[in-house]
Amino acid sequence: MSEKESIKEQAEASVESAEQMNESATNDVIEDAELVKIEELEQKLAEMSDKYIRLSADFDNYRKKSAQEKMELLSTAGKSIFTELLPVVDNFERALKSMESAQDVPALREGVELIYNSFLSFLNKQGVQPIECVGEQFSTDNQTAIAVIPATSPEQSNIVVDCTKKGYTLHDRVLRFAEVVVAK
């Protein structure tokens, strides 16, 4: 083999060795970059996991606090209503006491009517309204027919002629249906 060929082989071997080293170095750089990316992703995952756990805990605390506030509200919701009812009870007690020795029936009647009006006023403040139905068209939306009588004229057909039990609404929702007699 000639010296030229030997040099050529050495050069080719050197180039091949350099390419392998370059490829190895490139692979090392790529591996290092991938390791850095993996570390960054693991760090982001840890941060997101921590945020999720904190958010979950905050929501759980909010849910528990909200449930507790609802329970407290329900337990004290009737307090204001009962506080306003107590004067009506006091007036009934006074009326009952005065009935024991009362000689003046009209005055006693007037007192009971005052208590009744006071109670209706209280109901009105709470949003309870009576359902007016006598002389009106029968409606199953807020009335229950308990009896039907024959109509004396065609205009009177399906008209409420009597109310046996008054109905009430609470903020435009039926609290109790009116029991009525309808002409057919």
User: What span, in angstroms and rounded, lies between the C-alpha atoms of 119 and 113?
Assistant: 10
The span from the first CA to the last CA of the chain, in angstroms, equals 130
Exposed, middle or buried: residue 180 (CB in 10 Å: 0-12, 13-18, 19+)?
Answer: buried
Region of poorest pLDDT, from 21-25, 37-41, 68-72, 149-153: 21-25
Domain ranges for the chain? 128-184
pLDDT given at position 152: 87
With cut-offs at 50, 70 and 90, classify the pLDDT of residue 1: low
Whole-prediction pTM value?
0.56
Class of the CATH domain delimited by 128-184 = mainly beta
Q: Do the bridges between strand 143-149 and strand 178-183 make them parallel or antiparallel, or are there none, so unpaired?
A: parallel
pLDDT at residue 78 is higher than 90: no
